[in-house]
């Protein structure tokens, strides 16, 4: 008669523990990823894509107006004093301009500077930055001509000594005209 060998209990085998370890790691990592996602939301994602899409048309209208006014700007940022000097050429001479230095990835580091026209030199505007700005930025210059707002918008490396706005043709606006 064959002798029955006693099977050892499951917890004495290696493979059940390996499977349990894999499942435990999966659950732990999944819960940690959920925690990270909940505590650090991405502010760059929009829920209303339709409204964001309509904003593109408004932007293009402002940029087309800037093109029609033949506007060009040269911006100098003084790293030591934080002074912003802007030279505007073209067919618009508003009393005040708004310069936005927008970070593509970190909204907390966006900067806004209001520039006032120099009484002694036409086309020269002066403003003051509170802190240093560096790196790649979307540079937006806004002004008003009559009752319409115009906009110069380009992506620039702010570390450069001078920034030039309005020197690149707006391709999307050109396509709309045709």
Q: Which two tokens stand for residue 54?
A: 């309509």
Q: Are residues 68 and 22 in the same domain?
A: no
pLDDT tens string 54-78:
666 666 888 889 999 999 999 998 8
Q: Is residue 52 part of a domain?
A: no
Cα 22 from Cα 29, distance rounded (Å): 11
Q: What percentage of the chain reaches a pLDDT higher than 70?
A: 81
Would 35 be classed as within a structural domain? yes
pLDDT, tens digit, 9 for 90 and up, residues 120-145: 988 999 999 988 888 889 999 999 99
Percent of the chain with pLDDT over 90: 43
DSSP annotation string for 26-69: HHHHHHHHHHHHHHS--TT--S-HHHHHHHHHHHHHHHHHHHHT
Say how many Å lie between the first and final Cα of the chain, rounded: 97
pTM, full prediction: 0.67
Asked whether residue 87 falls in the same domain as residue 172, the answer is: yes
Domains contained in the chain, number: 2
Confidence of residue 30 (pLDDT cuts 50, 70, 90): very high
Indicate if 33 and 74 belong to the same structural domain. Answer: no
Full domain range(s) for residue 83: 62-177
pLDDT of residue 57: 61
Average pLDDT over residues 97-115: 90
26 and 89 part of one domain = no
Separation of alpha carbons 84 and 79, rounded Å: 9
User: The domain spanning residue 136 has which CATH number?
Assistant: 2.60.40
Is the same domain home to 82 and 33?
no
- Does one domain contain both 134 and 78? yes
Distance separating alpha carbons of residues 163 and 86, to the nearest angstrom: 9
Q: What is the pLDDT of residue 7?
A: 84
């Amino acid at each position: 008669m064959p002798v029955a060998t006693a099977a050892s209990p499951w917890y004495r085998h290696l493979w059940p523990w390996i499977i349990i370890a894999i499942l435990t790691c999966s659950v732990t990592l999944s819960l940690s990823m959920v925690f990270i996602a909940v505590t650090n939301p991405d502010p760059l994602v929009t829920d209303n894509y339709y409204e964001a899409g309509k904003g593109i048309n408004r932007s293009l209208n402002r940029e087309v107006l800037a093109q029609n006014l033949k506007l060009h700007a040269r911006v100098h940022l003084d790293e030591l004093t934080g002074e912003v000097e802007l030279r505007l050429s073209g067919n618009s001479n508003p009393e005040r301009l708004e310069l936005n230095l927008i970070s593509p990835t970190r909204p907390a580091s966006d900067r806004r500077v209001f520039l006032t026209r120099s009484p002694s030199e036409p086309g020269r505007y002066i403003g003051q930055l509170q802190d240093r700005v560096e790196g790649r930025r979307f540079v937006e210059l806004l002004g008003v001509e009559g009752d319409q707002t115009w906009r110069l918008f380009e992506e620039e490396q702010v570390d450069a000594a001078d920034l030039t706005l309005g020197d690149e043709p707006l391709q999307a606006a050109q396509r709309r005209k045709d």
